[in-house]
A and B are shown apart, each in its own frame.
Chain A
Amino acid sequence: MTAAGVVAHGVGERSDLPIPIFYAYAGAFAALVVSFLALGLLWADSRFRGDLAGHPVRLLLPARLRLPGRAWLAGRAGRARGIGRVLALLAAAYALGWLLVGPATENAGPYLVYVLFWVGLVPASLLLGPVWRALNPFRLLPDRPRREYPARLGYWPAAAGLLAFTWTELVAPEPAAPATLLLFLALYAAAQLAGTLAYGHAWLERGDPFEVYSTLIGHLSPLGRRADGTRVLRNPFDGLDAVAPAPGLVATVCVLLGGTAYDGLSGSPFWVNALQTAPIGRTGLGTAGLLATVAGVALLYAGCLGVAGLIGGTKGLAGRFAHSLLPIAVGYLVAHYFSLLVIEGRHAVVLALGMDAEADPNAVAPGTIATVQVLAIVLGHVAGVVAAHDRSVRLLPPARAVAGQIPLFVLMVCYTTGGLTLLLA
């Protein structure tokens, strides 16, 4: 079947059942309150050291490989990455081939883009760090900047790109139609080509939405690099602490948060009905809803951080707490996409390889899905509270550090409530 009409997550035939209301709220608030109180009592000094932390590790793979090409590979570390990028380019070409000439029904292309690539980047980056930086085919282009990347641009291009992708996935009239995806990918490729030709690889670091997505999520990986480039095994909180504030960082994280929130909203009967009866049309109201959700998430953040700054007597906190939203966003991404990756991921592999098999739609029990969802959201928020606490005892004067966090705590509670309500809706 062609996935016509409104289908959550761009592709997919099913979505998740709502989770039991009482346990979800009770668990979430107990975890938040306990962590907030425990942190206030026991954690008086900042403990995270960002990109100075970790135990140095060496990747054993190249040294142990007894292949003829070993010296060639190990001699130039970049070569291995080059091979990875060429493979990624081939995979991209394969997906494009499906989109361009694939069949109208059971086309693997949309599954490859929405499930294996977009959703698959989350666990891959969580485990291994910034994987798309290592595989990004656009990094095969020469790094010859004509101009310096303007610092004030920061993450704004990535925020815009992620918003465009989220719109394509959740609001576009036919998200799973090859034409829709081809249009998005053409615009995306043109932007990356132009950016890389003008600013070199510095553009990809800040302007490529997928590289930024993967790199930000990769900060939560136990594998990371120190500021001097040493590969280390580290506490994910140290990795999170190493997220450097930059213009547009808050916007990028708010797009991720708002996007998953809108994804949850778009399945609720209230919104389905509103979309179908909207005088401005489904796409018009959908666009307004997505933008309003992202703006709402951002305003709530800015408002709470403004109050925190007033209490703590410090200005310009917004960018320096953006990292604490990252685990929350990842929690929502996991909650929203876990079953999609497990169930539709198999479907994607079956379709892409032309296997003669059926993906089992009952592969994961509803109880497992609900447990993963609640755990992901609650752990994400607790991690956010911990990261925010550590940052505020560093930035705020000691006497005001705990009081200054109350707005942040309220923010976390609002996000948790909103997120769980959307899962329950």
Chain B
Amino acid sequence: MRAGLLACALAWALVAGCGPLSQTHRDPGNSHEVATGAPSGQADARITIAGGRVEPPPGWLEVGRGRQVSITVTSDVADEVHVHGYDLVAELRPGVPATLRFTADLTGVFQVETHRSELVLTQLAVR
């Protein structure tokens, strides 16, 4: 029995140790997070690409199913932005913001990326 108790204690220590770790990736305002829409409202992201760097760094863009999503991308080089799953594409001209607006009607996690520079801009999480 003592063995079991010890194991329980260890297990909970591990839970306590690891639980918050994953939270940091998704809680708004925490570490590298892209603007996160409130569950009731629409999701809105503004992303800049300069010198092969994505600003803000790629995070999660969470939105409820059926809500409006708007993703504005400004790139310093000519490129193409692509929302996987939804298969939406927009041409990026250097320095000119391009906006993708759509309704989030597919659930899951979808990468938003550029085609030529192959950068992940954000991951759209629709639940």
Where the two chains meet, the residues of A that have a C-beta atom closer than 8 Å to any C-beta of B are 1, 4-7, 13-18, 21, 25, 29, 32-33, 36-37, 40, 267-270, 272-273, 276-277, 339, 361-362, 365-366, 402-403, 405-406, 409-410, 413-414, 417-418, 421, 424-425
Pairwise interchain contact A272-B120, C-beta atoms closer than 8 A: yes
Which among B7, B14, B59 is the interface contact of A417 at CB below 8 angstroms? B14
Q: How far is the CB of A329 from chain B (nearest CB, A)?
A: 20
> How many angstroms from the CA of A36 to the CA of B1 in the assembled complex?
10
Min CB distance, B124 to chain A, in Å?
10
The complex places the Cα of A267 from the Cα of B60 at a distance, in Å, of: 10
Contact indicator A15/B15 (Cβ below 8 Å) = no
What's the tally of chain B residues with a CB closer than 8 Å to chain A?
Answer: 47
Q: Tell me the minimal C-beta distance from A179 to chain B in angstroms.
A: 16
Within 8 A of A (CB), among B3-58: 3-4, 6-8, 10-12, 14-15, 18-19, 21-23, 25-26, 32, 52-54, 57-58
Rounded to whole angstroms, the CA-CA distance of A410 and B12 in the bound complex is 11
Specify which of A13, A32, A403, A405 is in contact with B84 (CB 8 Å cutoff).
A13
Indicate if B75 sits at the interface (CB-CB under 8 A): no
Bound complex: CA A425 to CA B113 (Å): 19
Q: Is the interface of A mostly helix, strand, loop or mixed?
A: helix
A277 pairs with B107, CB closer than 8 A:
no
What are 17 A-B contacts defined by CB distance under 8 Å? Answer: A6-B113, A16-B109, A17-B107, A17-B125, A18-B22, A25-B19, A29-B12, A40-B4, A269-B59, A277-B53, A362-B106, A365-B107, A406-B7, A410-B7, A417-B14, A417-B15, A421-B22
Among B7, B25, B113, find the residue whose CB has the most chain A CB atoms closer than 10 A.
B7
**B54 in contact with A36 (CB, 8 Å):** no
Q: Assuming the A-B contacts A40-B3, A40-B4, are A273 and B108 also in contact, with contact meaning beta carbons closer than 8 angstroms in the complex? A: no
Whether A421 lies near B21 (C-beta < 8 A) is yes
Q: Are A276 and B7 in contact, CB atoms less than 8 angstroms apart?
A: no
Could you say which of A6, A414, A417 contacts B120, with CB atoms under 8 Å apart?
A: A6
* In the bound complex, CA of A425 to CA of B59 (Å): 11
Given A6-B111, A276-B119, are A13 and B7 also a contact pair (CB < 8 Å)? no
Kindly state whether residue B95 has any CB partner on chain A within 8 Å.
no
Instruction: Return the contact of A36 from the options B4, B21, B109, B126 (Cβ within 8 A).
Output: B4
Across the interface, do A14 and B118 meet the contact criterion of CB distance under 8 Å? Answer: no
Interface centre among B18, B59, B108, B120 (most CB of A within 10 A): B108
Closest residue to A343 on the B side, CB-wise? B108
Please state if B118 and A21 are interface contacts (CB–CB under 8 Å).
Answer: no
What chain B residues lie within 8 Å of A269 (beta carbons)? 25, 32, 57-60, 123
Q: Is B115 an interface residue (CB 8 A)?
A: yes
Q: Which residues of A contact B14 (CB under 8 A)?
A: 413-414, 417
Set of chain B residues within 8 Å of A361, measured between Cβ atoms: 85, 106, 108
Residues of A close to B118: CB separation below 8 A: 4-6
* A5 touching B120 in the complex, CB below 8 Å, given contacts A29-B12, A406-B6: yes
Q: Which residues of A contact B82 (CB under 8 A)?
A: 1
User: Within 8 Å of chain A (Cβ to Cβ): is B101?
Assistant: no
Q: In the complex the two chains form, what is the Cα distance from A267 to B14 in whole Å?
A: 23
CB proximity of A188 to chain B, nearest CB, Å: 26
Contact between chains at B3 and A406 (CB < 8 Å):
yes
Across the interface, do B25 and A425 meet the contact criterion of CB distance under 8 Å? yes
Contacts of B93 on A, CB cut-off 8 Å? none
Closest to B125 in A: A17
Partner of B108, one of A17, A406, A417: A17
User: Are A366 and B108 closer than 8 Å at their CB atoms?
Assistant: yes
Contacts of B114 in A (CB 8 A): 5
Structural contact, A276 and B58, CB atoms closer than 8 A:
yes
**Contact between chains at A1 and B11 (CB < 8 Å):** no
On chain A, the residues within 8 Å of B126 by CB distance are 17
Whether B109 contacts A14 by the Cβ 8 Å rule is yes
Of the candidates A14, A16, A273, which one forms a contact with B32 in the assembled complex, judged by CB atoms under 8 Å apart?
A273
Contacts of B8 in A (CB 8 A): 33
Cβ-defined contact, B119 with A424, below 8 A: no
Q: Is the CB of A33 within 8 A of B25?
A: no
B108 touches A14 (CB 8 A): yes
Nearest-neighbor residue (CB-CB) of B7 within chain A? A409
Which B residues are in CB contact (< 8 Å) with A402? 3
Specify which of B6, B11, B21, B60 lies most central, judged by the most chain A CB atoms within 10 Å of its CB: B11
Q: Is the CB of A413 within 8 A of B57?
A: no
Q: A17-B127, A269-B25 are in contact. Are A25 and B15 (CB under 8 A)?
A: yes
